[in-house]
């Protein structure tokens, strides 16, 4: 799955990307399909994130 330039995969396939407590919660609700994308942690600013991953540009 893709949104902007972010490529998402099933969270169950990328559990190393989530915090330990989040991993436990995800494993307990395995009936849900959750997706995750690896992002640059330096892009905490919303505008920088959206620009870097082409999210929300010319969508409306």
pLDDT value of residue 37: 92
The percentage of residues in the chain with a pLDDT greater than 70, rounded to a whole number, is: 90
At residue 59, does pLDDT exceed 70?
Answer: no
The answer to whether the beta carbons of residues 55 and 26 sit under 8 Å apart is no
The first and second tokens of residue 57, run together, are 């540009």
């Amino acid at each position: 799955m893709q949104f902007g330039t972010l490529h998402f995969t099933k969270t169950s396939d990328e559990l190393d990307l989530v915090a330990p407590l989040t991993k436990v919660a995800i494993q307990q609700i395995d009936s849900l399909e959750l997706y995750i994308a690896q992002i640059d942690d330096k892009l905490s600013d919303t505008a920088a994130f959206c620009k870097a991953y082409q999210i929300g540009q010319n969508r409306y």
